């Protein structure tokens, strides 16, 4: 269902073109300083409006409905909502009959007997990741740890390749780095996918349980709840399947950050052994598919007329929504770790 977490529990709600979307966070520690402004930095990172992202710009203004008093969390459920305003629902009315390839239009119709809200993707919309980003802001405050996610690959071009022959003194945005890739996709009214890598330093040793709440199990559960994810791998990931044990295993090395003895070196395991955090940075990569909605003509079926047809998806879409996902990936990782940290503190 629409809830995640055991001790720090996040419930999301809302439809893309409904009255509002939002999140209820239960299990937030009392006494954390929090105001609406605190959400803005993360929200802005998710925002669209640059090349390769949808021109639909919402106000994305968070309203705290409950759980904060005099600038601090109260320990009661913390609710944040975002009103929907800038909607053009007319765009979406035909997808019940003529489902868009790559979208859930058809299986949602079957599952909910056509009662689901189809406007803007309804409850499936990537817009629902906005309250998740807000929950991530709170989770990071609870944790005192900041996951860091970056796009490492876009449209089949790695960051290194995209930067080849250019000067990136850190001033280039991802949109600028992959400018040519995005231009080509826009020209063709097509879209591209990407890979996001997330690294989390300073994870304490001992989070997670071997069965069934391993760190990887919970993070992958959360990450696959982001629309458009096709794969996840930790540490050496799929490459580990081609390695020998003597190559993949992390020998204990000379890195002893806190004097309690060395940690595994090399981090082929991505920071987790047996499902439990081992003191190394947590590292995982996420594969995002290309945006499903494209202007380019696609073959689909008209279920009302019972015949094949062709669709050029109208509406405003991201040419590469992966560009907007790093802060969402970080939020999901923070949700998991905040929950595990709450559980572990018993």
Closer residue to its own copies (CB): 167 or 304: 304
Q: How far is CA 14 from CA 90, 162, 172, 178, in A?
A: 19, 37, 35, 33
275 belongs to the binding site for its own copies (CB under 8 A):
yes
20 belongs to the binding site for its own copies (CB under 8 A):
yes
Site string for its own copies, 313-342 (x = CB under 8 A): ---------x-------------------x
Taking the complex as a whole, how short is the minimal distance between the CB of residue 100 and its own copies, in angstroms? 8
- Would you say 118 and 95 are in contact if contact means Cβ atoms under 8 Å apart? yes
Q: Which residues are CB-neighbours of 334 under 8 A, at least 6 positions away?
A: 136, 139, 140, 143, 145, 146, 147
Closer residue to its own copies (CB): 60 or 117: 117
Q: Which range touches its own copies (CB under 8 A), out of 43-51, 52-60, 166-174, 260-268?
A: 260-268
- Would you say 139 and 331 are in contact if contact means Cβ atoms under 8 Å apart? yes
Taking the complex as a whole, how short is the minimal distance between the CB of residue 314 and its own copies, in angstroms? 15
Q: Is the C-alpha dihedral spanning 297, 152, 205, 246 positive or negative? A: positive
281 belongs to the binding site for its own copies (CB under 8 A):
no
Taking the complex as a whole, how short is the minimal distance between the CB of residue 58 and its own copies, in angstroms? 15
| Structure tokens that stand for 135 in this block | 């929950």
| Structure tokens that stand for 336 in this block | 């998991």
| Structure tokens that stand for 167 in this block | 């000067």
Q: Which range touches its own copies (CB under 8 A), out of 44-52, 160-168, 182-190, 323-331?
A: 182-190
Taking the complex as a whole, how short is the minimal distance between the CB of residue 169 and its own copies, in angstroms? 27
Subset of 98-137 contacting its own copies (CB under 8 A): 99, 101-104, 106-108, 110-113, 115-117, 119, 122-124, 128
Residue from 52, 120, 264, 326 binding its own copies (CB under 8 A) = 264
Taking the complex as a whole, how short is the minimal distance between the CB of residue 72 and its own copies, in angstroms? 5
- Would you say 196 and 147 are in contact if contact means Cβ atoms under 8 Å apart? no
Q: Which residues are CB-neighbours of 175 under 8 A, at least 6 positions away?
A: 50, 51, 52, 53, 182, 323
Closer residue to its own copies (CB): 5 or 170: 5
233 belongs to the binding site for its own copies (CB under 8 A):
yes
- Please name which of 42, 332, 345 lies closest in space to residue 216, comparing C-alpha atoms: 332
Q: How far is CA 217 from CA 129, 272, 333, in A?
A: 20, 11, 12
| Structure tokens that stand for 224 in this block | 């696959």
34 belongs to the binding site for its own copies (CB under 8 A):
no
267 belongs to the binding site for its own copies (CB under 8 A):
no
Taking the complex as a whole, how short is the minimal distance between the CB of residue 167 and its own copies, in angstroms? 26
Q: Is 31 helix (H, G, I), strand (E, B) or coil?
A: coil
- Would you say 52 and 175 are in contact if contact means Cβ atoms under 8 Å apart? yes
Subset of 38-97 contacting its own copies (CB under 8 A): 63-67, 69, 72-79, 81
| Structure tokens that stand for 115 in this block | 């009662």
Number of residues interacting with its own copies: please give it, by CB under 8 A: 145
Closer residue to its own copies (CB): 327 or 335: 335
13 belongs to the binding site for its own copies (CB under 8 A):
yes
Q: At what angle do helices 129-143 and 326-344 cross, to 10 degrees?
A: 50
Taking the complex as a whole, how short is the minimal distance between the CB of residue 135 and its own copies, in angstroms? 11
Residue from 40, 91, 240, 315 binding its own copies (CB under 8 A) = 240
């Amino acid at each position: 269902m629409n809830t995640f977490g055991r001790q720090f529990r996040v419930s999301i709600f809302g439809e893309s073109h409904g009255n509002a979307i939002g999140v209820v966070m239960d299990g937030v520690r009392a006494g954390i300083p929090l105001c609406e402004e605190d959400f803005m930095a993360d929200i802005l990172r998710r925002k669209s409006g640059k090349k390769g992202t949808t021109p639909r710009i919402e106000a994305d203004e968070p309203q705290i409905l409950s759980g904060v008093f005099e600038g601090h969390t109260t320990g009661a459920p913390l609710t944040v909502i975002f009103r929907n305003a800038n909607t053009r629902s007319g765009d979406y009315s035909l997808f019940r009959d003529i489902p868009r390839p790559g979208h859930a239009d058809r299986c949602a119709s079957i599952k909910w007997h056509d009662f689901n809200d189809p406007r803007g993707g309804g409850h499936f919309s990537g817009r629902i990741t906005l309250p998740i980003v807000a929950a991530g802001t709170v989770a990071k405050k609870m944790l005192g740890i900041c996951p860091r996610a970056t796009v490492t690959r876009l449209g089949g071009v790695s960051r290194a390749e995209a930067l080849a022959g250019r000067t990136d003194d850190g001033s280039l945005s991802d949109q600028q780095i992959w400018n040519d890739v995005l231009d080509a996709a826009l020209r063709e009214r097509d879209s591209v996918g990407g890979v996001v890598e997330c690294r989390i330093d300073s994870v304490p040793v001992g989070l997670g349980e071997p069965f069934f709440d391993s760190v990887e199990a919970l993070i992958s559960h959360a990450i696959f709840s982001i629309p458009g994810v096709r794969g996840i791998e930790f540490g050496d990931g799929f490459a580990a399947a081609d390695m020998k044990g003597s190559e993949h295993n992390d020998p204990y090395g000379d890195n002893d950050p806190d004097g309690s003895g060395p940690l595994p070196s090399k981090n082929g395991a991505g920071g987790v052994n047996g499902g439990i955090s081992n003191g190394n940075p947590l590292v995982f990569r996420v594969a995002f598919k290309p945006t499903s909605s494209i202007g380019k003509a696609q073959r689909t079926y008209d279920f009302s007329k019972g015949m094949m047809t062709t669709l050029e998806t109208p509406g405003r879409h991201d040419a590469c929504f992966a560009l907007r996902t790093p802060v969402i990936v970080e939020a999901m990782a923070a949700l998991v770790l905040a929950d595990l940290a709450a559980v572990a503190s018993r």
